[in-house]
A = this chain, B = another copy of it.
Amino acid sequence: MDPSKITIPPMMDLTDSNITSNVNIINSQSPNKRLQYLITTLVTHLHDFARETRLTSEEWMAAIQFLTAVGQKCDDIRQEFILLSDTLGLSVLVDGMNHPKPPGATEGTVLGPFHTHDAQHFEIGEDICSPGKGEPMLVLCTVKDTAGKPLEGVTVDVWETDDTGHYDTQYPGRTTPDCRGVLESNDEGFWFKCVKPVPYPIPSDGPVGKMLSALHRHCYRPAHLHFKFKKAGYDELVTALYPRGDPYETSDAVFGVKSSLIVDIETLSDSTMAEKYSMKVGDHLLKWDFVLTTDMESEELKNRLAKQALETLGSTAKLENGVPVASE
């Protein structure tokens, strides 16, 4: 809709049958066609939700209070709205659409609310956990492109809980980061020491915890080790590895598990190898080969899938930069 041609109709006597089209007209005055598409789609779904459920005034007020509580639970280190998005399956959906992977590339999964930007930088081989944080684990990785070429200079962000299932940020009085670190790959990949991950409950002392409890859902995530890979020219990869056989492997509270990301944790049995990496025989060993896609591969795939998806939905919206926008 050309903004210069928008005629706002007299907005009076709005009822459940005419409110949506009127709100959509008044929201169509910005020249930003993407914003217009987003807000129109949002308002239509929001109103349809209320109409289909015949939402009561009491439920509406409960929703207002719930969302307010979610917002007020957030602070510098806790993000309850991300937790809400995670537990409603929105995060994994958005991540999947934005970072589709061609066959052979490492799949992505949810970032979660515990990534921080203050992790320390470590040299290859260092331990990202302070002593006493859990059972020692050696992690040996390669990182390559889809053609099998090793990628040097990839920034690798790693984070996990300690063996009580808590991230450093969940401890009051945290002063320095722990059980997290940033490394840089060389032509052989990267390796570091950490602790064997354990399953843990997502924070359940806030409104999202109350919601899960009302829905009779458990709040556990299977054990996992988070990774984020960044290198110019390559699609950012946010992923995690899940040790096989976890009790919550098939019922992750945030829907993050992918079968291609389930790993077998081995036991270091070779004393020469243990010595080489300054580990002990009997310690845990995790080996993994990561494969990144280029920005170009990822963009091409994303755009193709967006086009296909909109066709499947029967949408005739125009795509700009790979996303649908409002028509003129």
Contact = CB atoms under 8 A, between A and B. Distances in A.
B57 A52 contact: no
A74 to B, nearest CB: 5
A280 B167 CA distance: 70
A207 B69 CA distance: 16
Interface in A194-253: 214-217, 249-252
A64 B113 CA distance: 11
Given A11-B257, A12-B258, A45-B46, A97 B35 contact: no
Contacts of A67: 67, 70-71, 81
A94 B50 contact: yes
A26 B250 CA distance: 11
A30 interface: yes
Contacts of A37: 53
A39 B89 CA distance: 12
A48 B47 contact: no
Contacts of A251: 8, 11, 26
A309 to B, nearest CB: 7
A54 B257 contact: no
Interface stretch (A15-23, A156-164, A180-188, A266-274): A15-23
Contacts of A30: 214-216
Contacts of A92: 14, 19
B255 A19 contact: yes
Contacts of A42: 49, 53, 88
A43 interface: yes
Chain A interface helix/strand/loop/mixed = helix
B53 A89 contact: no
B54 A322 contact: yes
Contacts of A64: 79, 81-82, 85
A281 interface: no
Q: Count chain B CB atoms within 10 A of each CB in A54, A81, A217, A252 and give the residue with the most.
A: A54
Contact of A68 (B20, B48, B71): B71
Interface string A44-84: 01111111111111011000100111111010000101100
A90 to B, nearest CB: 6
Given A29-B215, A255-B22, A10 B250 contact: yes
A91 B98 CA distance: 33
A125 interface: no
Contact of A43 (B23, B51, B88): B88
Nearest to A42: B49
Closest 6 pairs (CB-CB, A-B): A71-B71, A10-B250, A23-B89, A29-B216, A45-B45, A57-B98
Given A64-B81, A250-B10, A258-B12, A216 B54 contact: no
Contacts of A95: 57
Contacts of A20: 89
Contact of A90 (B50, B252, B323): B50
Q: Count chain B CB atoms within 10 A of each CB in A22, A53, A72 and give the residue with the most.
A: A53
B45 A48 contact: yes
A102 interface: no
Nearest to A55: B94
